[in-house]
Amino acid sequence: MRYTPHTLDDQARMLRTIGIQDIKQLYEHVPARLRETAGIRLPGGLAEVAVRRRLANLAAKNAAATDWSFFLGGGIYHHAIPSAVDAVVSRSEFATSYTPYQPEVSQGTLQALYEFQTLVCQLTGMEAANAGVYDGASAAAEAVLMSRRIQPLSRRQVLVSRALHPHYREVIRTYARNLEDVALQEIRFGDSGATDLERLRAALGPSTMCVVLGYPNFFGVIEDLASAQAACARAGAHLISVTTEPLALGLLKPPGFFGAEIAVGEGQSFGVPMNLGGPGFGFFATQRRFIRNLPGRLVGETVDVEGRRGFVLTLATREQHIRRERATSNICTSQTLCALAATVFLSLMGKTGLRRLAEINAARAHQARARLIREARAEAVFSGPFFNEFVVRVRDLDRAIRRAGERRIVPGIELSRWYPELPEALLVCVTEMNEREEVERLVAALAG
Amino acid sequence: MRYTPHTLDDQARMLRTIGIQDIKQLYEHVPARLRETAGIRLPGGLAEVAVRRRLANLAAKNAAATDWSFFLGGGIYHHAIPSAVDAVVSRSEFATSYTPYQPEVSQGTLQALYEFQTLVCQLTGMEAANAGVYDGASAAAEAVLMSRRIQPLSRRQVLVSRALHPHYREVIRTYARNLEDVALQEIRFGDSGATDLERLRAALGPSTMCVVLGYPNFFGVIEDLASAQAACARAGAHLISVTTEPLALGLLKPPGFFGAEIAVGEGQSFGVPMNLGGPGFGFFATQRRFIRNLPGRLVGETVDVEGRRGFVLTLATREQHIRRERATSNICTSQTLCALAATVFLSLMGKTGLRRLAEINAARAHQARARLIREARAEAVFSGPFFNEFVVRVRDLDRAIRRAGERRIVPGIELSRWYPELPEALLVCVTEMNEREEVERLVAALAG
Amino acid sequence: MSQRLPVKRAFGCAPPLLFDSGSPGRSGFFWPEEDAFPAAELPAELLRDAVEGFPELGELEALRHFTQLSHLNFGIESQFYPLGSCTMKYNPKVNETVARFPGFAHIHPLAPVPLLQGALELLYELEGWLAEISGMDHVSLQPSAGAQGELTGLMLIRAYLADCGDARQKIIVPDTAHGTNPASSTLCGYEVIQVSSNEQGVMDPATVARVMNEEVAALMITNPNTLGLFEKNIEAVAGAVHARGGLVYLDGANLNALMGIAKPGHMGVDVLHMNLHKTFSTPHGGGGPGAGPVAVKAALRDYLPVPRIEKQNGAYVLSEDHPKSVGRVRSFLGNFGVLVRAYTYILSLGGDGLAEASRMALLNANYIRKRLEKHYSLAYNEPCMHECVFTDRAQHRFGVTTLDIAKRLLDYGFHPPTIYFPLVVSGALMIEPTETETPETLDAFIDAMIAIAREAKENPELVKTAPHSTPVRRLDEARAARKPVLRWEPERAERDKEQGML
Amino acid sequence: MSQRLPVKRAFGCAPPLLFDSGSPGRSGFFWPEEDAFPAAELPAELLRDAVEGFPELGELEALRHFTQLSHLNFGIESQFYPLGSCTMKYNPKVNETVARFPGFAHIHPLAPVPLLQGALELLYELEGWLAEISGMDHVSLQPSAGAQGELTGLMLIRAYLADCGDARQKIIVPDTAHGTNPASSTLCGYEVIQVSSNEQGVMDPATVARVMNEEVAALMITNPNTLGLFEKNIEAVAGAVHARGGLVYLDGANLNALMGIAKPGHMGVDVLHMNLHKTFSTPHGGGGPGAGPVAVKAALRDYLPVPRIEKQNGAYVLSEDHPKSVGRVRSFLGNFGVLVRAYTYILSLGGDGLAEASRMALLNANYIRKRLEKHYSLAYNEPCMHECVFTDRAQHRFGVTTLDIAKRLLDYGFHPPTIYFPLVVSGALMIEPTETETPETLDAFIDAMIAIAREAKENPELVKTAPHSTPVRRLDEARAARKPVLRWEPERAERDKEQGML
Ligand SMILES: Cc1ncc(COP(=O)(O)O)c(C=O)c1O
Ligand SMILES: Cc1ncc(COP(=O)(O)O)c(C=O)c1O
């Protein structure tokens, strides 16, 4: 059979050793009724070439960024991935190993995760980070749950910015729903596209547990974390900063700089292909005093019996396999290989490269916005500062999008499906992958 | 710069250590006139994304077997390559290492080459094989040179079948040309498409050094090696068997079975992409008594100081780096990584798989030929038995080829450019990659 | 002190940390084109300074760092990896090839749906296949891993019961359950009632009936359970739960034992999750990414997470409008890249191949069980399914524990079984060979286990001080937890250098 | 006997041979579709029996075999590999990515030329770039490696002279030349005159003039030569050769030292070859594939091998009709896959980047030379270019040889330099760091060399018995050559098992 190496002789020999004649005897203790109806009605297996043909046909029915011009962000970004990244993550020693339960033969994964944790701290300006969680959205939800573990029972009100990524707000709602004590409240955004700080201050109170803001937010706007943090501090609430485009942290003051208690986000931008939105990974950072409340895996430094440095999974007493129903979270398998990709990516970019890449993104996005407004009669929607994403209003948006589509351009994301208050608004993202001439074609297409 | 890691500080520190101020001092002993005119007038370097774009554009201007139906063989074959093959050869421990001069840290390459030599022996039915040469054509030429090293000065006539691959005949001519004593003579083929054995017997004589036959030959026809070998033996000439489609050896009696003195060929069919015809590798096998006359690298078994088995490059006294002008050949860098690919490929196919794959090729080719003759009014050209390639005559061939081209089909190779005596003859190759429905479309296209 | 110096060896030395490598100003980033580009005008007060302590390496330098790290890892393609409950089967290379097709790797989840028809077709088909394999009615591919599948499953049980006006507070979980089961229950706002398995290592219907009442929302059961035993009373157990209005959740992480042998959907299961990174061959990646689809019976369909993939006159669409749905459990459409691999695996094996896989998984596990039973004592003397559980009882008298045995296996070039799990077995050694291993490999592993049993008797010190041949030897985990060092910091790097630790 | 048993270690054990693995009837080949297909009617007497002793493994089994083998190899991405004359620079990953584009990997050389325009454009452009870099007029990309480039170059010299009615019989080759130079000369039907380099390690014009006469077709010179020294008299030397009607062939294997510094085409060179698998970063693959293009001055153009790539009103064509050509030197169009990588490398670096590469190659080599000169004695006290050559003179008195030093370096995790070449230097240690290595790596290597120099003094036995940490220790090469065992055979496998060698 395809991947089972057993020849008939192998099977016969093994059955003899076991002391039975027929392999069926191995599961005859399974109730007959179940066995009789267990047949799988699927076609037979295919040769590798046939499998590749079938998958190639399916892939051909999708629009890939390799032949289309995407101006799509909204939580998943099209960035350059150096070939060296895949060369590392496709090495079977990384790709096929399990969660590093046996540290003596897992130092590769463990050291890389320790380096990952450090990189996340450096980028977010926080003191401690875990080895990653599923994605940015569940990271945001886990952050709320972590705040709940820390804050007194009297604080269960969660203030969520309406300018936070809609999926993230939904996932927070899904997770919170099962915990009767948590009450979510949405805070509107103002004309700048940033969360309305007046409304935030008004909503903050003695029962507030935490405030969740996007940084930058879903509109690409850079929130004023300084003021938000000040307000939270005054009210005794935690500030949770959520980043969907981590490249921004190569350029912007990090959440830790403002004193955020928790900084989380999606890391896909760092060396992970878009993959229709997954797998990427969630990053999760906090202050040292909170490390025992962290969800997920933590890698720590230690020494072996000969005094040599080594790395291990640590603080496992937080985790499900030890703590079971009292664990800080239920996460077991996470997104390690994507975290490794990010670690490789960031070590290739390095201090100067990451900064430069962020500058290139900002420069291209700002130039594109200016040209769309100047040359394509698009209207600015928000006045706040932004990184590589921005919102414009395009008259007759549907036709404009269709026009662009005919030229193999996807000009951005329509916001009205999540924000009825923003008709004909388009969220446009421009990265280093959008050539100057692509921007020309975008402007032409939207100008009509 | 792109791949040079030196920062300006690094350079300054290193120059200080060396004891100079300016890096130019390192080559000021190079005549000034040379230095002044050494500037390279090429554009500046490009970022990886730009490089990939440029190469993607070039690649898009070629017709790839992934979107076209190729019925092309003629020395390079489109076969299935399991993903596992590239997974192995792309491992940097194999891909980036040098010829294994330091066996203690090259056992990976050395054991694989030892296994390769064994596989070549098993396939060809010969007693010994080297670690590979450049390609099938130079292998054929090297075989003639090897025969020359063995045969007495009185034997310098080389009989080459006209049904041998034209490129191979040309390369033999190119190599022989510099050796005044070697005289090449071509032997015609008969109606079967096989070498005319009468003519061969007539040409064979006391001055004949060797006879070179394709097995199968360029027309896909399976030569009668038994009779050829008998004739050679009688005349004291060496029989050199040359195989361009090694998959045939999974099904056909091997050259060694008939007593050929040397069996060589091209190995691309075994796990190496077509790559516009290179890199592939030449395989080279002979009888034990001749091993000291072999060209190229040889890997042998030995033991280390603790008695453990290990492998080393051996019989180096044949080679250029020791023997210099008296070496058996000048080959140094060969095609090791391709030989490794073949070793992986053959170990995946295995005894039963290789046979089955060969049968599938033969079955499809035979069926296609029958249908072309029956349904597309193509005429059989040769009567001899064939493996996965055959020749048919198609009326109005140019128009037929154009018609096929419009349907993204390349129906085969026109022979008239090499064989004016075969007008409108088409060499058609059918492998496991040509789906049943592709054959339908081929028949339809040629039927017009 | 000298032993503190890094080991000098030809192979397998750990590289220094990224942060202790490189040189200021060095970078693998190269983007000459851009130099002309006008910079964006962003208010200076928004901008950070260069990231302190960030790596500064060249491309080869970085690549060599990670290549050297890879040489410190065991992996399925280098070693036998019989980690119980983890199903470390071969991860086919063709899966990796197709997952990298640009039409899968470089597509955006918020692109217009007409531009994603191939992806949606794949997902739609995969949902159907998983339903057929598991005997359930509907599937959602959203959850990112098994644990998130559990949480999703429990959430929809909760939502379903709430709709029936029958809010309940508790979940019954067997003592053999994986830690994620109780953890997910709590996360879903439930209280956990732990029940113990009987002397045969399985759930007893009577026991369940005894704890089952109107406060209990569901029973979470694993089948085969973590002892590798088939829950032969599962139908009766499910009956007892259903009788009192509860639902049955099946942890399908061990589905690799059941394909073509028994369908969970026929056992009275209402909800289950599957681990595609186990049964369906997607790589574990050193701890993910995985995928943990949930499958339900028809009655629970409306509660599945959004978005859902539907086929409307020939075209695939994403529908979000399901008022009863538990909502969205993660961003976008799940771990698509993982789902492509699982799809490819099922397509490659086909129905018969999957059944064959489960049969061979059982054959391999029982072969090991048989050959080792005279040398190690079995936790339960029952026929096993895809894995078998031993204990260190027989070695205890020599002072050799399961941990020692595991570490000694490393010196023989084998990854150890899962140890000390399930918790009900003291010193558990949980061995899951999977179906992709040859009998020769099993024999080599078994011989090593037997040799270790002998060493435990004749030379216990050798075993207790193992491993002896790994890049680092036994690590001080207590120290790591006592004063956690979770990141590099400049000062520490200095200190360690002085102490010669690196 | 026990030491003959395979080493037990966690990492780095050699797997058994393919032929001693597996099980009869096992195969990684899976092709269910075909079963219906009617078999071809081939005469039974043409068909062989199953291939005796052929491997019978499963897919994972085979993959694990080769993955384990890979762990026994050093490679550039795991170790520093300063192998002199081999230019073991970083082989960029992007080259590997683009070379695998279907539009390059899956194209057929005999497809109609209109279907290959992208490939021909690439080759045409690459020819022009190599001409510009080397200062020559025309280039052929046909030769498969350096040695075949040499042969091709000598053949066209021969053809050219023959056409001039001036057939000649001899080639002058310096004693420092690489072995392929004399070997290629013989293969081309020439007789070799070896001339020795002067006390500065370079060719002396007078010496050359002395041996130069009307029988000599050409001088083969390497610049920088294999001592890493620039042939500073090359113009005069070339003059001496030209004066008597001979041509000058340059072995361009060391071009990595010259880019942007000096063009061979300006030195009086008529013909040269380049090693793309050295200067232009294509991977060595454990011994190939490579590419050894030949470049010539205008006068020799008509003699270049066929086919030639020409541009005719916008389209690229392959022309075979060149009556003066030496003919075809290999099948099809050369090692295209390698040429794509070299093209990508040049495109990535650009003209300035190539010049920078050569400058940094010189910087690295001179840095090593400087730091080691107090610990090892230099072969020649001359400024070096891209590599430097030391000897074991200083270690000899402790009975420690170049071989011992090389083997001891393995224990420090470094690949040794090229040893005992060039032959004119006794106990040569030829170190070529290349430009892609960091100063920190050079320092680590230098420190290891210095430590070994100390060990040679204080503990020579340690060095003489090295390596101590490799999967196998020093191997008996004499035994291998005495009774060559070049292949597996069933009987031998048996015998070895008895002797416990595997
Ligand atoms: C029985 C069982 N249930 C649940 C899980 C959790 O699955 P995941 O790690 O994908 O979250 C596992 C994984 O180890 C398991 O073995
Ligand atoms: C100076 C020199 N010339 C020629 C060659 C031969 O090149 P190749 O190995 O590509 O045949 C080499 C390769 O080692 C070399 O170093």
Note the pLDDT tens digit of each residue in C225-240.
999 999 999 999 999 9
Nearest ligand 2 atom to the CA of D292 is 10
**Of all atoms in ligand 1, which is nearest to the CA of residue C254?**
1
CB A309 within 8 A of CB A168: no
* Cβ-based contacts of D90 with chain A (< 8 Å): none
Cβ-based neighbour number of residue D131 at 10 Å: 17
Q: Is the CB of D145 under 6 A from ligand 2?
A: yes
C184 CB within 6 A, ligand 1: no
Q: Would you say how long chain B is, in residues? A: 448
Q: Which are the contacts of A159, defined by CB distance < 8 A and separation ≥ 6?
A: A185, A186, A187, A200, A203, A204, A208, A210, A211, A212, A237
User: Is D222's C-beta closer than 6 angstroms to any atom of ligand 2?
Assistant: yes
Inter-chain touch B14–D439, beta carbons under 8 Å: yes
How far apart are the C-alpha atoms of D131 and D262, rounded to whole Å?
13
Q: What is the pLDDT of residues C375-386, one digit of tens each?
A: 999 999 999 999
Q: What are A36's two structure tokens?
A: 């009789």
D178 close to ligand 2 (CB < 6 Angstrom): yes
For the entire predicted model, the pTM comes to 0.98
Q: Which of A6, A7, A46, A102 to mutate to test the interface with D (most CBs of D within 10 A)?
A: A7
Which residues, including other chains, have CB under 8 Å from residue B272's CB and lie 6 or more apart? B81, B279, B280, B281, B338, B341, B342
The C-alpha angle A163, A126, C53, rounded to 5 degrees, equals 120
Q: Which two tokens stand for residue B169?
A: 């005949």
Digit-by-digit pLDDT tens for chain A (448 residues) are: 799 999 999 999 999 999 999 999 999 999 999 999 999 999 999 999 999 999 999 999 999 999 999 999 999 999 999 999 999 999 999 999 999 999 999 999 999 999 999 999 999 999 999 999 999 999 999 999 999 999 999 999 999 999 999 999 999 999 999 988 999 999 999 999 999 999 999 999 999 999 999 999 999 999 999 999 999 999 999 999 999 999 999 999 999 999 999 999 999 999 999 999 999 999 999 999 999 999 999 999 999 999 999 999 999 988 888 889 999 999 999 999 999 999 999 999 999 999 999 999 999 999 999 999 999 999 999 999 999 999 999 999 999 999 999 999 999 999 999 999 999 999 999 999 999 899 999 999 999 8
Under 8 Å between Cβ of D451 and D459: no
Q: What is the pLDDT of residue B319?
A: 85
Alpha-carbon distances of C291 from B42, C270, C274, C287, C339, rounded to whole Å: 49, 20, 8, 12, 7
D469 touches chain C (CB under 8 A): yes
Contact indicator for C329, A176 with CB cutoff of 8 Å = no
% of chain C surpassing 90 pLDDT: 93
Q: Tens digit of pLDDT per residue, chain D (502 long)?
A: 233 334 578 999 999 999 999 999 999 999 997 665 678 889 999 999 989 899 999 999 999 999 999 999 999 999 999 999 999 999 999 999 999 999 999 999 999 999 999 999 999 999 999 999 999 999 999 999 999 999 999 999 999 999 999 999 999 999 999 999 999 999 999 999 999 999 999 999 999 999 999 999 999 999 999 999 999 999 999 999 999 999 999 999 999 999 999 999 999 999 999 999 999 999 999 999 999 999 999 999 999 999 999 999 999 999 999 999 999 999 999 999 999 999 999 999 999 999 999 999 999 999 999 999 999 999 999 999 999 999 999 999 999 999 999 999 999 999 999 999 999 999 999 999 999 999 999 999 999 999 999 999 999 999 999 999 999 999 999 999 999 999 999 877 677 666 665 5
Distance between CA atoms of residues A62 and A64, nearest Å: 6
Distance B176 CA to ligand 2 centre (A): 23
Q: How far is the CA of C146 from the centre of ligand 1 (A)?
A: 5
Q: How many CB pairs under 8 A join B and C?
A: 49
Interface chains of chain B (3 or more CB pairs under 8 Å): A, C, D
pLDDT tens by residue, D98-136 = 999 999 999 999 999 999 999 999 999 999 999 999 999
A343 contacts in chain C (CB < 8 Å):
18, 66
Cβ atoms within 10 Å of C391's Cβ, excluding its own: 18
Give the span between the Cα atoms of B118 and B131, in whole angstroms.
Answer: 10
Ligand 2 centre and the CA of D76: distance in Å? 18
Residue B374 burial (10 A CB sphere; 0-12, 13-18, 19+): exposed
DSSP B60: H
Q: How far is the CA of D253 from the centre of ligand 2 (A)?
A: 6
Secondary structure letter of residue B250 according to DSSP: G
From the list D25, D61, D97, the residue facing A83 with the nearest CB is: D97
In the block, tokens 């080691």 appear at D372
Cβ separation of C286 and A128 shorter than 8 Å? no
Of all protein residues, the one whose alpha carbon is nearest to atom 7 of ligand 2 is D146
Contact with chain D for residue C471, Cβ under 8 A: yes
* Cα D359 to ligand 2 centroid, rounded to whole Å: 22
Tally the C-alpha atoms within 13 A of residue B320's C-alpha that lie toward its C-beta. 23
Amino acid identity of residue B205, one-letter, is G
CA distance B247 to B269: 7
Q: Cβ–Cβ of B114/D6 closer than 8 Å?
A: no
- Would an 8 Å CB–CB cutoff place D90 in contact with chain C? yes
- pLDDT tens readout for residues C124-161: 999 999 999 999 999 999 999 999 999 999 999 999 99
Does residue C85 have its Cβ closer than 6 Å to ligand 1?
Answer: yes
Alpha-carbon torsion, ordered B30, B34, B35, B41, to 10 deg: -150
Tens digits of residue pLDDT in B220-239: 999 999 999 999 999 999 99
Residue C241 CA to residue C211 CA, distance in Å, equals 10
Q: Is the CB of D395 inside a 6 Å radius of any atom of ligand 2? A: no
Alpha-carbon dihedral sign for residues D370, D372, D378, D384 = negative
Flag whether residue A66 sits within 8 Å of chain C, measured between CB atoms: yes
C18 contacts A347 by C-beta, under 8 angstroms: yes
Cα–ligand 1 centroid distance for C91 (angstroms): 18
Q: What residue's CA is closest to ligand 1, atom 10?
A: C146
Peptide bond preceding D6: is omega within 30 degrees of 0, i.e. cis? no
Chain D: list its partners (3+ Cβ pairs within 8 Å). A, B, C
Interchain proximity C30–B45, CB inside 8 Å: yes
**To test ligand 1's pocket by mutation, which of C275, C420, C421 has the most ligand atoms within 8 angstroms of CB?**
C275
3-state secondary structure D223-234: CCCCCCCCCCCH
Choose the closest CB to A360 out of C37, C277, C371. Answer: C37
Sign of CA dihedral B22, B26, B30, B34: negative
